[in-house]
Amino acid sequence: MRRRDFITLLGGAAVWPLAVRAQQAPPVVAVLSNAAPSENQGRALAALRRGLEQSGYADGRNVTVEFYLSDTQRMPSNLAVLVSRRVSVIVTAGNTVALLAKAATRSIPIVFGIGGDPVDLGLVASLARPGGNLTGFTNLNNELEAKRFEILAELVPGAATIAVVLYPGSPISDSKLRELEPAARRLGRQLRVLKAGNEAELEKAFVTAADEHVGALQISTDNFFNSQAERLAVLASRHAVPSISGVRDFATGGGLASYGTNVEGEWRQMGIYAGRILKGEKPADLPVVQSAQFELVLNLKAARALGLTVPLPLLGRADEAIE
């Protein structure tokens, strides 16, 4: 990833590129995330740029793409700086960041990538006609929580208790539980809820799962968790906890399984929408895109290390099986 892709916001004030202050000729697409830096963010940004290119915009030539990292507490003040600069488009990653961006401006177009229902979250009036200054992409990961739970139960039939790790600051944690609790009852499993809001608490969640002899663990989809996919795979392997995530990088990094959307496809779509807005289209008229493609990745090597046999029907449904 190019060094300029990461501009971290620290303290109460933002550190902005001097070049931007001196030259505002090209439109600026500001990308905001509250996740930790990771390699998959580099792939996401590359996909965003490909989407922009489909609309005729090349980063560094006729558009400037800036990527900003900030914790949630400082996000409102950092958004205020972006609004004062009147950037052309704001692209947000995650439910919380999208909500904060909406609160920050009613005039600057916002393209979001979220895992919840944008209507329920109050981001748009409807999927077909968003109606305001926001539109974007929803990957329906909230609705997929129950499906991931079912896959994990199938992979670990002896797991009487399955834990789920939730991000405490997420605005859709309660709705995730509303999806998971009926699935647990239907499958005759106990649901153990663990919460983690930072890296230390994530590690503690795996320690707790191992100490309590929880049969399996599900990592809920959240922008912060998604950015930690490879690290979470290492923790799952270290503590010998059969686990599933919504991010492909978790399974390819050594975790047992993942089931979710194609993240790079999501970011490419966000780039396409940002480009269309730069050309003059209004977010209010651009329908929210819902993901229609989901992929199941199974790590057979991890299964063997955990003493698990992947059921043949599940193996047949897998989009990828890692040997």
Confidence (pLDDT) at 37: 59
DSSP 3-state assignment of 94? coil
pLDDT of residue 38: 62
Domain boundaries, the chain: 3-140+262-290, 141-261+294-322
pLDDT (0 to 100) of residue 172: 82
pLDDT at 221 (0 to 100): 87
pLDDT per residue rounded down to tens, the chain (323 residues): 443 444 444 333 344 444 444 445 799 999 998 876 566 678 889 999 999 999 999 999 999 999 988 878 889 998 999 999 999 999 999 889 999 999 999 999 999 999 888 999 999 999 999 999 999 999 876 678 999 999 999 999 999 999 999 998 788 888 899 999 999 999 999 999 999 988 899 999 999 999 999 999 999 988 888 888 999 999 999 999 999 999 999 999 999 999 998 888 889 999 999 999 999 999 999 999 998 788 999 999 999 999 999 999 999 999 999 99
Give the per-residue pLDDT at 320. 96
Quickly name the fold that domain 3-140+262-290 has: Rossmann fold (3.40.50)
pLDDT at position 70: 80
pLDDT of residue 21: 45
What are the counts of helices (DSSP H) followed by strands (DSSP E) for the chain?
13, 14
pLDDT for the residue 40: 67
The reply to whether 141-261+294-322 shares the fold of 3-140+262-290 is yes
Nearest-angstrom CA–CA distance, 224 and 199: 9
Residue 275, burial from CB neighbour count under 10 angstroms (0-12, 13-18, 19+): buried
What pLDDT sits at residue 98? Answer: 95
Q: Which residues contact 266 (CB under 8 A, 6 or more apart)?
A: 47, 113, 137, 139, 291
Fold observed for domain 141-261+294-322: Rossmann fold (3.40.50)
Residue in 304, 199, 313 with CA at minimum distance from that of residue 256: 304
Q: What does the pLDDT read at residue 187?
A: 97
Q: Give the Å distances, CA to CA, from 321 to 100, 187, 312.
A: 39, 25, 12
Q: What angle do CA 166, 69, 205 make, to 5 degrees?
A: 25
CA atoms of 223 and 204, how far apart (whole Å): 19
- The per-residue pLDDT for 67 is 92
